[in-house]
Structure 1
Amino acid sequence: MTVVGVGAKTSTVEFSALELFWFGRTLHGCVYGSTDPDRDVPELLDLARAGRLDLDALRTATTDLHGIDEAFAALGDGRGARTVVRITSEGGSQ
């Protein structure tokens, strides 16, 4: 079994030690998909550049620094977990 996500601080998982042994079961955690950032981030960037990974579909919203307070409020309300904050230079380039 692979545990995905984070439960509440008081959440528990129960199983029998004998069951783990007898059926040869294992319990694993998973953080960020258990990726290797040194290997996987460049590959994901290559896929995005080639048009084979739709990053727009993964984004909840886009804002600039003027909208950061609203973005944090949305995050606190359980919305906007994937908001991209664009920072522009004084000249307007990104």
Structure 2
Amino acid sequence: MKLKPLHDRVLVKRLESEEVTKGGIIIPDSAKEKPIKGEVIAVGPGKTSDKGEKIKMNVEKGNKVLFNKYAGTEIKVDGDEFLVMREDDILAIIE
């Protein structure tokens, strides 16, 4: 199935968090928080201003991003989990 977000929405796949800390402590699954890093899978065409002009998106497909902890709506497509969120919920692009 192929998804194309509308307006200023972005389709993001969460990146897996590390299972071992820098100090060597292994984190069990029950104690892990959901990661706030992800990879942009698809991007909508952009928001439309009050004057009817398209506002270009700042993120692109393939960007690694940081987003709000509770951002977006979780969806499952073909067994994979994704988030659909507004571009405003993305805090930064990881370079």
TM-score range, shorter chain: under 0.3
| Larger gyration radius, structure 1 or structure 2 | 1
Q: What is the TM-score normalised by the length of structure 2? A: 0.20
Q: Which is richer in strand?
A: 2
Q: Which is richer in helix?
A: 1
Name which structure has the greater RCO, CA cutoff 8 Å, separation 6+. Answer: 2
